[in-house]
Structure 1
Amino acid sequence: MSTFADRLKAARQYAGLTQKALADRSGVPQPNISRIERGGQDSSAHVVGLATACGVRPEWLAGGQEPMVAEGGNIASAPRPVRAFEDSDPLDADEVEVPRLTLKLSGGSGRLQWEIDQHGASNRFRKSWCAKKGLRAEKLVTVMIEGDSMAPTIPDGASVTVNTADTTLRNGRLHAIDYLGEFFIKRLLRQPDGSLLVRSDNPDKTRYPDWPISPEHADALRVLGAPVSVSADLD
């Protein structure tokens, strides 16, 4: 690629970023990025920031010196500035909004039903992240977790995003489940006799022992989805 403009566009596409997303990550205004990609603006002042944001080598971006990416490098290592937003802010082109939900017991079926939490903030994810994970944004929901039964995997107060399209029971994996009208996120383990063992990740088994579900009571358990992301504050 003979020009900086061509290399920047290739780097941005490699990172799966729109011009706006690259601007947010690099701190270079989006109009400047647009002009650089059209070959209409000097780029020397922004080489390091743009290269870091895209996860490519500055030497490659500046002059085409191979390789494009450092050995062992990947775009996940590129730092991303934190961007605060309000729920009323418009979505970026590469963003999707995932609602925060609560669960309530249905009076008819006696089963838990998702309900939008009117007091909870929504979460935002990048479309490129959803595509990489094979997720459909409209099937994602976020719930708040109370208690430390799944710590350290899921700390008390964590926000967990659940893929409601994935209701297949997979041995040893985390599942969001409805069991006898109660909501849990637990690890499910199939047993040789056909029963299920419901396990908390907290190592204190005095407080959080495993509990079995016999084959006769398996119908009382319903898989609501698979947790795909956990967000929690550090102590």
Structure 2
Amino acid sequence: MGLVNSNTPGYLTVDTSGYMFGGMNTSTLAERLKIAMEAGDISQTSLAEKAGIAQPTIWKIVTGKTQSSAKIVEISTVLGVRPEWLAKGIGPMRDGDSDNGNAITTYDKEAIPGLFIVNLWDDNGETKDVVAVPDTIKSPNCRAYKLRYDSGYPEAPDGAIIVVDTLETPGHNDFVYAKVKDQASVYKFTTGGENGFLISSEPRVPLIPVGDDAKIIGVVVYLSRSFKR
């Protein structure tokens, strides 16, 4: 399975108070997009350019000509807002914000166009937090993790968010999330031996055989690097 790269969604790295927009109408996608653009002081043209989409697409959303978009993740990344909020008004605009009483508290995870909601895991198992990613990687076997250590690979620095498929079979040179002697990190995989080998980012480190001391948690199917505005 191919790896999807992107910048980390801004809501994972930006903490801006939501009081400035308290009481404003956020019932439609158009209204939420206008609020986010005003908060980020960004024009339709600039947003379209940074999100890599056509400016008329932004215009259609802003004017209410369309009520959904397959580019919600890209747009929300540029604006530094939570894609769930932008798409459906779910929760606060950004992590750490108050929802100002406007949040949708229950929702169907399958009903957000263009997004797939993945539960975030840590060393103790599944948490109550979620991550929104493009639905092109949709799989019931997916888990999201936030890297606690720099893997050494530029694609997977400390703090990056990754999504892994726990049942995907790794191929040569695939990124995998693996635990080696109780420390989890991102490695590259190569075939050979009994179960294959992990390749460290440090070329002086020998190949690590997959086995009792090195277990693969899953194949990385989505990776979000640190987002800098």
TM-score of the pair, normalised by structure 1: 0.48
- Larger relative contact order, structure 1 or 2 (CA cutoff 8 Å, min sep 6): 2
